[in-house]
Structures are given as structure tokens and as C-alpha cells.
Amino acid sequence: MNLTAIKAIYVFEMSRFFRTLLQSFISPVISTVLYFVVFGAAIGSRIDQVDGIDYGAFIVPGLIMLSVMTQAIAAASFGIYFPKFIGTIFELLSAPVNFLEIVVGYVGAAATKALFIGVVILGTAGFFVDLHIQHPVAMVAFLLLTCISFSLFGFIIGIWARNFEQLQLVPLLIVTPLVFLGGSFYSISMLPPIWQTISFLNPVVYLISGFRWSFFGQADVPIGLSLLAIAGFTALCLAVVWWIFRTGWRLRT
């Protein structure tokens, strides 16, 4: 494996992130504060606890997942789409670099950015609620897997998109609604039976449930299903990326 090529792509992508570090840091802090004001204060005054957990603490895993998923997709999709837009993708494809090294460089940088956002939100939430993470190793594992898998998904979106409008289409119209309807700010057990059944068709439910389990030891679905869901999604994204580079779909046109 060409580590120099991976490093070059990774450093180039991260340099763009560090140029706007202040914005990257302030934006999630402000968003977290607003979510706690709206959900923690307004709704939390009506819902004291959910499954024995203080509502302010209960929404933290969902809030982190919401930001991490959207940031990972945005970073990875723009990272690979911009070289397509300006035409430098052909230089990258003609260089002595295989597809795995390209993916590791772009996806690794996007996952790092999303991980940074997740850590910032977690630290900001600590100023509002008392958090006691019961399974810290599982929490880190779920966070890393989510960053990597959704960065891969964003990478696919960046290759698929033909313009900047399509680049925003999937995150805005599909991913964000799925996250909001995936138990980010409520427990699936609070829904009527028919809506519980429908919610279990939402793959994001399994990710948020597993991540919440790492915090509080409680989940809407078994932890094994959550691990299987994130592993399956990651494997599917890897298979799609492999097929894209093997066929050259949307890369050479």
C-alpha cells in the first residue's frame, strides 16, 4: 500500500478543514446549545424522564449521531466531488495509486472531521447535563464505525452527483428525516405499536439505539442487531465503492 499517496490525500483534505477550524468548532457548539434550548428546555419541561433517564441526557446520543452522520456525508461527498468538478480527478486516476488508497485518504479525512464534530458536541453537552458513559469502549467503537460508514456513503454520493444540487439531495431529503424519525429525541417505545413496527424498518434506528446503549445501558433494539446493522451498512458501502472503481461509473465521464 502506498502510504505516501494516502498521506498526501489525507493532509490535503484536512488542510481545508483546518483553514476553517474556527467555523468548524463554533458551528456545532451553537447547534448543540440551540438543541438543548429547544428540546432540553421546552420539551424537557414536559417530559422529565424517558425510560428512567433525564430527558436532557437522553437526547445527547441522538444529537451526536445526527451531526456526525450529516457531517461525514457532507465532508466525503464534497471531497471527491470537487476534483470531479474541476477535472483533477483524471490526474488522480492516472497516478500510480489504487482505488483503496484513494478511498482511505478521502474517507479517512472525512471520518476524522466527523469524529471531531462528535467530540465537540459531546464536550458541549457536558456543560448542560451530567453524562455517565457506561460502556466507553462501545461508545468509541460505534462512533468510529458511524464516521467511517457514513463517510463511505458520502463518498458514493459525491461520485454519483452531477451537480451541487444533487450533492445536497440525499442528505437533506433522505438522511436527515431518517435520523429525526430514528429515535434521536424520543424512545421508540413511546410510539403506538403500528408506528413502532414502521420505525424498525428505519436502519438509523439501530445505529442510534446501539449508540444510546453505550451511554445508558438501554436500547430500543438488541445491541447485537445494532452491531449487525452498522457492519452490514459498512460492508455494503465498501462493495459499492469497489464496483464504482472497477467499472469507472461516473468517474470517467
Q: What is the pLDDT of residue 41?
A: 67
Closest CA to 183 of 166, 201, 171: 201
Closest CA to 100 of 231, 208, 246: 246
Neighbouring C-beta atoms of residue 175, cutoff 10 Å: 21
How many residues make up the chain in this entry? 253
Whether pTM > 0.85 for this model: the answer is yes
Q: How far apart are CA 143 and CA 148, in angstroms?
A: 9
72-82 core/surface letters (b: 16 or more CB in 10 A; e: else): bbbbbbbbbbb
Q: What is the pLDDT of residue 243?
A: 95
Q: What is the pLDDT of residue 2?
A: 85
In one-letter notation, the amino acid at residue 179 is V
Q: What is the pLDDT of residue 21?
A: 73
Q: What is the pLDDT of residue 150?
A: 96
Q: What is the pLDDT of residue 52?
A: 86
Q: How far apart are CA 200 and CA 218, in angstroms?
A: 16
Q: How far apart are CA 200 and CA 206, in angstroms?
A: 8
Q: What is the pLDDT of residue 44?
A: 62
In one-letter notation, the amino acid at residue 138 is A
Q: How far apart are CA 82 and CA 97, in angstroms?
A: 19
Listed in sequence order, the residues at least 6 apart from 47 whose beta carbon sits closer than 8 Å to its beta carbon are 55
Listed in sequence order, the residues at least 6 apart from 32 whose beta carbon sits closer than 8 Å to its beta carbon are 63, 67, 120, 121, 124, 125
58, 130 contact by CB (below 8 A): no
Q: What is the pLDDT of residue 204?
A: 92
Consecutive 10-residue averages of pLDDT for the chain (253 residues): 91 88 77 78 72 88 92 93 89 87 96 93 89 93 95 96 90 90 90 91 93 94 92 94 92 73
- Would you report the helix, strand and coil content of the chain in percent, each value rounded to 5? 75, 0, 20
Q: Which residues pair with 49 in a beta bridge?
A: 54
